[in-house]
Amino acid sequence: MSKIVFPAETLELVKKIIARYPEGKQKSALLPILHLAQAEWKWCSPEVMDYVASLLSISSIEVYEVASFYTMFHLEPVGEHVIEYCRTGPCCLMGGVEVYDHLKKRLKINTGETTKDGKFTIKEVECLAACGWGPVFQIREKYYMHLTNEKVDEIIDELSK
């Protein structure tokens, strides 16, 4: 991995985010900046977290303890597309279990694994607040709703191109 530094425009954004909080409370920018870091480097490696700590003038442990608390931060390398499917009650009622089984079969991996070509990682997450539109999974910022086996195939086909 090359040297870990945000591009100039992201650094501008970091400054703006820190300015949202009173002086001396820059630690509040931690979650927003961890999201930026993960968007940049795909996962929060110790080096990335150390860099985030340096941007906020806080100690590395303050970043580690936060990144490891929140589900969204990947503490291990992930594939190009991280598929996070909702496994909570309402999505299961709508046939989620079958659809997610199909997804795993299609990609030939289990939850928590990455395909050999590094294209896809599957993660299991809790309720995504889209219960009426379930089953649901999320890839980055995009929600995929009303999933069926056929729809899953279409999405995977599209992303495999």
Q: Is residue 121 a contact point for another protein (CB under 8 A)?
A: no
Distance CA 48, CA 37 (A): 7
Minimum distance from residue 33 beta carbon to another protein (Å)? 9
Say which DSSP state 112 is in: T
Evaluate whether 143 touches 128 at the Cβ level (below 8 Å).
yes
Contact track, another protein, 3-42, x by CB under 8 A: -----------------x-x--x-xxxxxx-xx-------
Identity of the residue, 54 or 118, whose beta carbon is nearer to another protein in the bound complex: 54
Evaluate whether 107 touches 100 at the Cβ level (below 8 Å).
no
Kindly give the pairing relationship between strand 120-125 and strand 142-144. unpaired
First to last CA, the chain: 26
Distance of CA 98 to the CA centre of its chain: 23
Q: Is residue 126 a contact point for another protein (CB under 8 A)?
A: yes
Of 6-14, 68-76, 103-111, 151-159, which segment contacts another protein by CB under 8 A? 68-76
Residues in contact with another protein by the rule CB under 8 A: 20, 22, 25, 27-32, 34-35, 56, 58, 62, 65-67, 69-73, 87-90, 92-94, 125-134, 138, 140-143
